Structure 1
Amino acid sequence: MEDKLSVSSKLAYQNKRLKTLLNKYKQSHHLQNALIQLSEQASTVAELTLLYPAIHDILQKYVPSKSFYVVLLNQYSQSLELSYFSDEKDGIAVALNQSNSFDEGATGYVFKQGKTTCFTKQQMQNAAAEGLFKALGTPAEHWVGVPVYQEHNIIGVLAAQSYDTKQGYSSQQIQLLEFMSLYLATAIERVKKRELLESEVKIRTRALTQSNDALNLEIEQRKRALQRQQILFKISEIATQAKNLDDAYFKIHEIIKTITYAENLYIALYDKESGWISFPYCVDEFKENTQPRRFAKGYSELVISTEETQLIHPCRAKELIESGVVQRAKPVQKEQMATSWLGAPLKTAQGVIGLIVCQAYDNKHIFSRDDCELITFVSHQIAAVLQTKLTNQAIAKSHQELEFRVNEKTKELRQTNLHLQMQIDERKKIEQQLYHDAHHDSLTSLPNRSLFLTQLEKTLQHYQRFPEHNFAVLFIDLDKFKDINDQLGHHAGDQFLINVSELFAQCIREHDLLARLGGDEFVILLTHLTEPQQAEDVANRIIDLMKKPFFLKGESLQSGASIGITYSKKSYTHTDEIIRDADAAMYHAKNSGKNRYELFHPLLTQSIPAQALKAQHHLDILPMSFRSSEIITLDEQHQSESLFEAFGEHPILGFTSFDILKKFASDKEQHLEIELQLLQRAYAQAITANVTMALVPCSGLLLEEHEFVLFTDTLNKQQGHSQLCLLFDEQEIRHASATQIENLKKLSQLGYSIGLNNFAKDRCELNLLTDINFDYLLLSSTFSKRVLQQESYDFQLQGVLAITKLKAMKVIAKGPSILNFRALLDKHGLAFFVGKQHALVCSELPEIQATQSL
């Protein structure tokens, strides 16, 4: 038994010894492989920045060294500097920020001691607490530092650290690091010598290439001279080969593309006598064309006035604007602002006739001095060519005018003139397009009121000849449309109308007619009806579709449709009667709960005698009355001003505002007649109420050329017209013609009080306030509400108040519930408020009486 135990002990001893020898040989093998790989890297890498990552890769195979760095001594500053750094937690920025502190940390401690040092996290903290060194960076669980020697001098430290508590460094791994450090200095020296050798080779190579540069430069200069000569030949050919000026501009553009970036190019002509700049040719990714303008302070004007080529980048553009040399008429969107602009004058013997400009957006190209030199070089030749073409065009135009006069006198020759026939054909196309535009709604592309009434008239005449061909008219008014506009804005309302029109079109047949009368009102003409139920079926389909929610701007909206239906009958003699009855049925549907349809019944018009109904036009039975409200102010005296809201009472429609009354006009002449009548009635009622100022809404129609004469004649007939303030809607004035704007200014010059209604409904245009002398400014309910919600709108309001204060305008905030926020709006500078949105008549009343009228 004892023999067996002795044998077992011997075998265990031998196994243990064999394992020890195996680990020793394995360590030696790892060490040998690591040194071989280090030697290979030292022989192959081209620079030191590549050597350190290679060493790191070798170490990671045998030592836990994901976090590894090398610090070497700077021979000049005698301080430790970082040569390589890789860490799991601390980024390279941390190490670089602490590069001047390695002398004070554990790395500096190893450098001073000159021997390998290994710390655990606790040992590191204890040593730092004893003042041996400072703790830098994120504390590691295990840290080892090995000095790097060159001969007998220490030149740096190689360090590795681990953040894993279970992953420390064994004696064999530390021994491997020490062997690596012994060979590191030699490897560094070998790579430095290789770098020096490659640097000398590069210097010699550069010296050889410099001798060729002069020759290449001469060749390049000759190529450039030849290229410029070819460009001049091509430009010269334009004078004879271009068919017209437009063709010449196009060919010039193609030539410029061959010498520089010219994706965005325009050619401008300058008329010194008139002081106008025109843009006959413009290719731009943001603008299809550029309108002529007076000589001002733009980039183009800078080129013309200096008669020199101008190269403008963002920095110079900022300097030119700040110094006042360049002024912008209106702000330019950032993405539409040129990041590089190059313009050259077109100079002839007569002076500068214009300029040619290349520009780039979004840094797609940066023009250089070479580009500037090239475009200056070709601009003189381009100017000569354009001057020749312009002269020829003037002569050709003179000949055309003479030919035109001859053709006027010789009608026989006009018949054979193919060119004129082409003009006639083109005019016919334009007239057809104009006819289409005049008879279709610009928003929905549906037929408009004019086309609908024309078709309804034809249908009525056909029915009078063939009574068996029945028809029906559906008058549709959308429910809650105003709420959609107020909540989501004008653009969302427009999109909603487009969507609704598409839905309505799905509910009718191809030969039926769907039209938009205006606003949120639509009409449908159903023809070839075999039974009345067919019209009701169409109405039911529309109502069912409108019950479904609409999704706009990510919000779910619920609308509806109130529909009035009238069928063909022999008593109808005029289209106005049909529209009147369908309209009356629609209002009955709206007053009966909305989102439904009603059939017209004679009882709906029983309040009007039959004989009078037949004799009168439906617009003649709209009486006027007024309802009082007030403007509430928050000044020191707490004064209030009373208001009157103008409305008419229709026998079927009930109470309706000025705008609703004017919608019933079938044509422009009738619209003008009704509006002038309403103006007279409103003024008469204001006189009766003994008010000091009446604010009366007016449309832009009154400012047109012929209508303005009747308008001013009507105003002159009113005694004491200073009691009348004429309110015009901001959106109409914004899109008004030059004649309308001029007539609006004449009203102020003639002594009439004028006001701007619904200001800043969808955008805030301050130029309207500076160009026209308004007495009253009524802010839109949308803008008044958003002033309290968004800071940007408060900034806009302060700009409005600054201008109105200078021009002595009275600013009024309005909206259905604006009085609930009057205290808050007062803090923003607003002191006048009104809770309704109709025609206004103001007079001074005691505070108690004004409050009670609420």
Structure 2
Amino acid sequence: MTDALSQTLEPRCQEILRRTAIALKGRGVGVWEADARGRPRLLALSSAEDVAPVAADELEALLREVGELPAAGRPPRRWLASRLEGQRWCIAPVRTEPPQPPPAGVERRGPERLTLELAGVCIGLIERQLSEEPMAQFKAMVDSADDAVIGKTLDGVITSWNPAATRLYGYTAEEVIGKPIALLAPPDHIDELPRILERVRRGERIEHHETTRVRKDGARIEVSLSISPILDAQGRPVGATAIAYDVTARQQAEQQLAHGALHDALTDLPNRAYFVERVSQAQARVRRDPDYRFAVLFIDFDNFKAVNDGLGHAAGDRLLTEIAGRLRTCVRPGDVVARLGGDEFTLLLEEITGLPDAEHAARRIQASLVAPFMIENREIVATASIGVALSDPDYGQPQDLLRDADLAMYQAKEQGRARFQVFDVAMRDSAQARFGMEADLRNALERRELRLVFQPIVELQTGRVYGFEALLRWHRPKRGVILPPEFVPLAEQTGLIIPIGRWALQDACRQVRRWQDAFPTAGPVRASVNLSGKQLAHPGLVDDVRTAFQDAGLPPTCLALEISESVLMESVESSTDVLHQLRELKVELHIDDFGTGHSSLSSLPRFPLHAIKIDRSFVHRMGSRRNDVEIVRSIVELAGNLGLGVIAEGVETVTQRARLIAFGCALGQGYLFSKPLEAKAAAVMLAGPEEPGRRIA
């Protein structure tokens, strides 16, 4: 620079400094210029109110202490900083456009690259500390944060990285700063990055965006991102800060909860809620597309209770798990097999052509159950009753379809089990009638609609009345007299058999006691009362029996309890225990309908019985089938060998009576002697002149 040019520019520089000083007034900032020896030539200072004022001569002395400028090639910023460290004023960087590092000042060099002069900005140390302390605090907060804090440019280049980011992603700051943020995204999530950056460029905040990221070791993690744009003084985005934290464990827990809410805990099959939702979706499709068809199969396993009772609930659960595994093999990829609860399963068949497809699926399920299950080293054969209901646009709710499939399943059970049945409307009508009967039956006791009738049991040789079998009758309003086969199964299914059976015991004992009081010469009149399977399994049965004869004042030996052969064999162990407790009460125990069940001869001695009742079907066929004659003869002989009495049911002809007497059968009942009678009519049979008791044949 020539002296003439310097003289020309000097006034302009002074004016610029003057204006700069005005602009910086009150901000504790100054501008300076020094020659090659550190002597100030131009100076403009201004102090903020919270910074002690500094006179020009103080700064001049400060700069003179610097001494000679550094040799060529030595950065003046570092040199000046080292010479001025700890002074009241220091040389501050002049801001330049990134990415160049800001210098301490502006340096002008000569032809030999010797420093000729310097210019720069000076800031009071107190002011500088006031501006740097919040930044230091902020950095400390970011570094100690539990969440990853990542800075990046608008192009997605990482500019800052805190320790939590290292813990989350596995990369150190040195490994990622200057790298694209795409480094953290798995291939299947790369496409979302441009959309996120575009939103940041528009100045949008992104909060709690959950996505997938990948760690340095390749592990995928789920993170929640909150991204905020960094704005300049004019409010324009110049970068972004992302805060991220790991939500993998939370998402896994949520997924497990969601899975558990829609799946059965034991078998991991879909549960009722899931199944109903899928049926609802299928119904909606039927309404949109008349050609679309589906079917619902309702599956219930026969005699599953016997497994639970005989082997325990753990074995039952194991069986259900293995059943679920076989059912899975019977369905196509688009079908749904679910467990509703207990031993009830359902199957949704979609995209079928019609009923044959559903029937084929039912047969496939039954075929899958042919092979026995090995549970606790025992072979268990499981059979299933299946109900089938086809889709129909008229179905209102998914539960309607399930209801009809359930009705068809019960129809299959009633027809013999181990089979399937397709729903028809008549089943629904029958179910509605059953529902009405159940409602009426619940009120029958209170309304005194239930009554007992009594059929005489007689000595076959003498015709003397030995006792009476008490039989239930329901006088249902507007329906007439209802016989036990029509309502007792319903009473058992609903649990109403317990209060009804308790009443029958009490009423029979009271009636027999009244007869004994009225006809003391008639001998010890006895009553036989039937017990159902539900009653036998009821824990209060023994107390109910004891209360019945004690309250009536009836000797327990005058009360006989009849249990069918099939009921006894449903649970031999528990039945035996209860029968022994009843035997201790000194009541008699009879096995009813003998010959129709599945008991083995070896099991009979285990039961503490007093008598066997031969089923009426064998007695009826004695006149036409030689085999039945031999069966009756064998039963009588078996009972005699076991020390048991024999009562023949359904004796209707003189020939039948004669044969039974010839076989050694002592007691019988049937229309040959009397039909079931009301209590008053039965009393007539006890009032005759013969003693002890009335001879009726």
State if a TM-score over 0.5 links the two structures: no
Scaled by the length of structure 2, the TM-score of the pair is: 0.34
Higher Cα Rg, which structure: 2
Scaled by the length of structure 1, the TM-score of the pair is: 0.29
